[in-house]
Amino acid sequence: MPHHKCLQWRFPARSIWVERVETEWHVLSMPERTREHSAFRRAVARSRKPASSEWRHYLHRAGGLMQPSPVLPDRPVVIRPDRALTLLPGQSTVFYLGIPVWFRLNAAGTRLARVFDEPLSVLTRTWFGDPVTGELCWGLATRLHHSLDSVDVSADFAVCPLMVENESDTDLDFQKICIHVENLSVFRGRERLWTNSLHAVFQGPDQVTQIEITHEPPGFEEGLVQVSDARQPAPGWNIRRTFGMLKYFTDF
């Protein structure tokens, strides 16, 4: 990073400013309101950096490197489709879910230290499950895309391919889908960010839903590079409450 310069990462809904002053890293996160889906990075003269009391200061050894990377949110994400959708018995489909990513800044050295972790878009808080045993999640109202072409290319979203099979005798209504994104990694493609693929098998409302996580990069694009690990490993992750039904939640 050049001395006497600030770096700005600008995303559709947020700008991150980073500056190095001797052994300190100064970081500022500011909301943005642009309609562009693209993001860019630029160097700005120190005299033009925004004056704010929100600058955060981190001590680090001189000459250390900073590594920015996209990571997935720290809690499960509950996706609410913008229209009612029903998967008929015996059918299967693939959805492409846009998961909002966070901006993480690591300080590289003998040990990678997390400096800064910030959501790039505004997420709402929501609750999945009943008020006693449910879990706190991030809420996201979005469209369940059947085709990759309809998914906007955006710098602050990662595409999560979700294959769903309805092996039950009942309709599967998609009202809410809870994705445990803290167990997923992020991969970088030519234009998009990707997460691991998910494979869900619905066997009926009184049965557990089996979720399988693919540890390899999704096969929708060639040459994907992993840019961040999952926040938490996923042992025994294959059985989870995932689908929110009209009158009940599948539970185990």
Partner 1 sequence: MFFQQIVNWVHTLSPDVLTKGLRVVVTAALGLLLVRLLAVVTQRYLMRKSTPQRRMVVRKIIGYSGFVLVVLAVLGELGVKLTALLGAAGIVGIAVGFASQTSVSNIISGLFLISEKPFAIGDVLRIGTTTGIIQSIDLLSIKIRTFDNLFVRIPNEKILSSEVTNITRFPIRRMDLVFQVDYGQDLSRVQRVLTEIARDNPWSLDEPDPVILFTDFKESGVEVLLGLWFAKDDFLLMKNSIMTDVTARFEAEGIRFAHPRRVVRPDHPKRPGGAKGGARGEGRASAKRASAKRASRPPLPRGRLPSRSDSARTRRPPR
Which residues sit at the interface with partner 1, rule CB under 8 A? 78, 124-128, 131-132, 134-136, 139
Q: DSSP 3-state assignment of 150?
A: helix
Please, what sign has the CA dihedral across residues 69, 70, 71, 73? positive
Q: Which is nearer to partner 1, 188 or 241 (CB)?
A: 241
CB burial of residue 70 (10 Å; 0-12, 13-18, 19+): buried
Q: How many of the other CB atoms lie within 10 Å of CB of 36?
A: 12
CB 107 within 8 A of CB 27: no
CB 98 within 8 A of CB 159: yes
In whole angstroms, how close is the CB of 37 to partner 1 at the nearest point?
A: 23
In whole angstroms, how close is the CB of 75 to partner 1 at the nearest point?
A: 11
Q: Which is nearer to partner 1, 119 or 204 (CB)?
A: 119
Q: Which is nearer to partner 1, 107 or 179 (CB)?
A: 179
Q: How many of the other CB atoms lie within 10 Å of CB of 215?
A: 9
Q: How many degrees, rounded to 5, is the angle at CA 99 between CA 95 and CA 101?
A: 155
In whole angstroms, how close is the CB of 35 to partner 1 at the nearest point?
A: 20
In whole angstroms, how close is the CB of 15 to partner 1 at the nearest point?
A: 19
In whole angstroms, how close is the CB of 125 to partner 1 at the nearest point?
A: 5
Q: Which is nearer to partner 1, 75 or 188 (CB)?
A: 75
- Which value, in Å, is the radius of gyration of the alpha carbons in the chain? 20
Q: Which is nearer to partner 1, 104 or 176 (CB)?
A: 176
